[in-house]
Chain A
């Protein structure tokens, strides 16, 4: 029996069972943010929009428009407004409709 075969048997299976079972390695993946709408002020929203390197964040009146599809999970928004941002924990984001990735986050923290 070839040596590589024996070594392989000894190492065991490394193949994930995903999507049938969850995979632990997903815990270390970067995720897009989620927003705490009650901690989100207009001013914090504008700060985040300014630092976002792409079009993922924009503001329309009292709504923070979050395009998850455009998000690179760079973390600049979380750095700009740490109180208003939480990890979403989501990486299973694929969708058949582009607009389903555009989310309206109400700005409930008040502010100017």
Chain B
């Protein structure tokens, strides 16, 4: 495991100049997305622009989505660059936009989603799958935009294995106590040839539902888009609204949010550890991890009034703050349980043997697919929105809660299940340290009042699964006209089939799934 130093700033300015040469126009006034650098691009030069950005060191496609501002949909690409985010906006007339081949692997899921919701597609001619919406959705099924002229196809990758592979549909009702999730497993008997997934049976239409709500009303649904990341998604959503309205939470409230976020990271990593033990058939380890998980959930309840930290984040700040003395004491005990269980597991050869060389992802795959979180960090990529210079969004003078308490980005080599497990354990230790520092600096349950007016804003937070992004457009009455939620699960599920295919037998799939620790709810929303 290595600690990684963050890189120099200035990339945004260079890129804006490059894009301006391609006819791009930086927007800084009302139409801009606050919290990011916004550049309007024309469709004619969008492909070149994307090529230029994709070729810049340290640039990563963080999201792609569309919006029906006027009659023509606007296509937005959100790029993570060294010191923040760069957004390109392009109005698309007609039903096609340029083939953005540089980002095709990283953006495939988004291209399919945009096609289903807005009817526009990249000019590649290749088939797009129906991914987000259920089959047989009629013209009147609620969409964010217009129905595509041609319904999307049900295309799976061709299986060229000499006619001996068979497809094995699994789910959506699976083993007990896990979310509904449909896998198509293509196998010759042991080896995984392909895994494809559908989650449209969990599509609740959260982004559609958020339209017309105020940030306060919308936060209730944003938290429940992926409940296991309620703090992270809630924070990203609240920060997007705050950025749009030009307000920042009081610093003590920002630290309260950070304490809640780190507690959320801790309990999710404990749960992932329990799932790894269950997947490897190690009941004692599973019980030990579950004891740690239960204790961490009780710490959350005692500190913030809810086991899963719902309702802590509010637009403008935080609604509840912990008793520092009680939290410090309880957390030390709960983390001790987690650490003892982890140490015992690391000393258990039969456990470690199953994790090593299992579910391997290379750094190149992680980069090409735009993966985030522990999955990416375990391949060696230092992708973490809490790093210095990439702190959670805040307009406050001191730059946000993490600015004063530099986070060590925990990375590992190997990209296998064991590396992901090690990253999670390292992050858990970091989280405990950070919570101590935030408590020392003081937390409070305070909210800055939200001013009136409208605007667009981008918010983000580092969930246990990786970067969460939220983009909000507010009208003059302060109501949402378009909200985009992009939990970490949306980016990382696309790495799952590559990980499963790397010389694994299909009995390794539950182990790999536990090491990713994503949710179907976060992808489907």
Contact = CB atoms under 8 A, between A and B. Distances in A.
A88 to B, nearest CB: 14
A74 B217 contact: no
Interface stretch (A22-30, A37-45, A92-100, A104-112): A22-30
A28 B301 CA distance: 6
Given A25-B298, A53-B220, A14 B291 contact: yes
Interface in A66-93: 72, 74-75, 79
A78 to B, nearest CB: 11
B302 A28 contact: yes
B298 A30 contact: no
Nearest to B301: A28
Contacts of B319: 75, 79
Interface stretch (B35-43, B200-208, B304-312): B304-312
A3 B221 CA distance: 46
A4 interface: yes
Contacts of B298: 25, 28
Interface string B304-343: 0111001100000001000000000000000000001000
B interface, over-half SS: helix
Nearest to B291: A14
A75 B284 contact: no
Interface residues on A, range: 10 to 19
B157 interface: no
A7 B311 CA distance: 37
A79 B220 CA distance: 15
A4 B302 contact: no
Contacts of A28: 298, 301-302, 305
Contacts of B301: 25, 28-30
Nearest to A14: B291
Contacts of A72: 310
Contact of A74 (B220, B284, B302, B344): B220
A74 B301 CA distance: 13
Contacts of A30: 301, 305-306
Interface residues of B, number: 18
Interface in A1-52: 3-4, 7, 14, 25, 28-30
Interface string B141-182: 000000000000000000000000000000000000000000
Contacts of A75: 305, 311, 319
Given A28-B305, A30-B305, A74-B220, A4 B284 contact: yes
A46 to B, nearest CB: 16
A28 B344 CA distance: 30
Interface string B293-305: 0100010011001
Contact of A53 (B217, B302, B307): B217
A74 B305 contact: no
Contacts of B284: 4
Contacts of B340: 7
Contacts of A14: 291, 294
Contacts of A53: 217, 220-221
B310 A74 contact: yes
A75 B311 CA distance: 8
B291 A74 contact: no
Contacts of B306: 30
A7 B343 CA distance: 13
List the 8 closest A-B pairs by CB distance, nearest first: A28-B301, A53-B220, A28-B302, A4-B284, A30-B306, A74-B311, A25-B298, A30-B305
24 contacts: A3-B344, A4-B288, A4-B344, A14-B294, A25-B298, A25-B301, A28-B298, A28-B301, A28-B302, A29-B301, A29-B307, A30-B301, A30-B305, A30-B306, A53-B217, A53-B220, A72-B310, A74-B220, A74-B310, A74-B311, A75-B305, A75-B311, A75-B319, A79-B319
Given A30-B305, A74-B220, 17 more contacts: A3-B344, A14-B294, A25-B298, A25-B301, A28-B298, A28-B302, A29-B301, A29-B307, A30-B301, A30-B306, A53-B217, A53-B220, A74-B310, A75-B305, A75-B311, A75-B319, A79-B319
